[in-house]
Amino acid sequence: MEPTKRAYLELHIAVFLWGFTAILGDVIQLSALALVWWRVLITSFSLIFIIRLGKAMKKLTRRSILQFAFVGSLTGLHWLTFFGAIKLSNASITLVCMATCSFFTAIIEPLIIRTRVKWIEILLGFLVIPGMALVVESVDVSMHAGIWVGLTSALLAAVFSILNKKWIQNAEPFSITFIEMTSAWVLLSLVMPFYFQMEPNASLIPSLQDLALLLVLALLCTTLTWVLSLRALKHLTAFASTLTVNLEPVYGIFLAWIILKENKELSPGFYWGVVLIMVVVFSYPFLNRLSVKISRRNGQNA
């Protein structure tokens, strides 16, 4: 198969599996904290068999290790709020919240990386607000907490993605992932005693069914997707990859409709809000590309 076509196929598989993550989070009976604790533990363990750990770690400075450990802690908090939002609302609502991640990025990235503000991204970010307003208005009040936690998760995802972009430099992606997953596990392990003190009836030990689903979540939806996406990005443009990754909430909401029957508990107003948000999200790569072309032409004519 031609490398580009294979890359598209691999990235679509990865994005589809990312969409499936929300479904697993809804089905697994463990609390969000226990679920993420197992996910990062299994993922970290699986990476030991992929990378040469000792050799990879020697290539990183102590400062780099600490930086990626910090990003890993943010990743752990992102997943904790992501699955927490699913438990507080449902998979569809959480995935819609995650669709705002690119617009949080547009606002925060210039502050962290000191890049030029792209006003088209800011404008599109504001256009997401009416869609989110429709979503909030159309769901039961009991699910509003899930929306706020989901938006917090999207904000955390934007921050750790920007920091990864800032610090990744020439470091090997698998080594970075191992450090980040391990540091997320350490952070959650430190939080665990306080959680069980507040929730003495909560369980850390999964049932056999939950254990099987956790293995799918960690090995297929985390480790495999990382491998597939890294391989694919070597052969795809940033435009093509961004457009494909934007399909994650679409796949996820479709799966939630089919598997979890969530359409029965969501009104048409919710899906109108989803459509509005998706139109904005999918228009971003095209408008961004157009903006770059116009800037280049103005630069040549100056």
Question: For residue range 210-253, what is the model confidence (pLDDT) as tens digits?
Answer: 999 999 999 999 888 877 887 776 677 655 666 677 788 888 88
Residue 301's pLDDT band (boundaries 50, 70, 90)?
low
Token pair for 175: 């080594």
The answer to whether residue 25 sits within a structural domain is yes
Please state the pTM of the whole predicted model: 0.84
Selected residue with higher pLDDT from 57 and 12: 12
Query: What is the predicted pLDDT for the residue at 57?
Result: 67
The answer to whether residue 206 sits within a structural domain is no
The answer to whether residue 205 sits within a structural domain is no
DSSP letter string over 192-251? HHHHHHH-TT---SPPHHHHHHHHIIIIIIIIIHHHHHHHHHTTS-HHHHHHHHTTHHHH
Alpha-carbon distance 215 to 210, whole Å? 9
The answer to whether residue 226 sits within a structural domain is yes
Selected residue with higher pLDDT from 60 and 9: 9
Query: What is the predicted pLDDT for the residue at 110?
Result: 82
DSSP letter string over 50-106? TS-HHHHHHTS-HHHHHHHHHHHHHHHHHHHHHHHHHHHS-HHHHHHHHTTHHHHHH
Q: Of the given ranges (98-102, 145-149, 194-198), which has the lowest mean pLDDT?
A: 98-102
Show the domain range for 8.
3-200+211-301
What is the rounded average pLDDT for all residues in the chain?
A: 83
Most confident of 103-112, 121-130, 251-260: 251-260
180-213 pLDDT tens trace: 889 999 999 999 999 988 888 888 999 999 999 9
Q: What percent of the chain has pLDDT over 90?
A: 28
Residue 38's pLDDT band (boundaries 50, 70, 90)?
very high
Query: What is the predicted pLDDT for the residue at 102?
Result: 74
75-97 pLDDT tens trace: 999 999 999 999 999 898 898 88
Q: CA angle, 294 as apex, 290 and 297 as ends, to 5°?
A: 140
263-293 pLDDT tens trace: 777 778 888 888 887 787 777 767 767 766 7
The answer to whether residue 128 sits within a structural domain is yes
Question: Does the pLDDT at position 47 exceed 60?
Answer: yes
What burial letters (b/e) apply to 61-81, b meaning 16+ CB within 10 Å?
A: eeebbebbbbbbbbbbbbbbb
Taking CA atoms, 64 is separated from 26, 112, 139, 170, 294, in Å, by 35, 17, 43, 11, 38
The answer to whether residue 229 sits within a structural domain is yes
Query: What is the predicted pLDDT for the residue at 237?
Result: 64
The count of domains in the chain is 1
45 closest CA partner among 198, 182, 205, 139: 182
The answer to whether residue 74 sits within a structural domain is yes
The answer to whether residue 272 sits within a structural domain is yes
Q: Which helix (H) or strand (E) holds 126?
A: helix 119-138
Residue 39's pLDDT band (boundaries 50, 70, 90)?
very high
Query: What is the predicted pLDDT for the residue at 276?
Result: 84
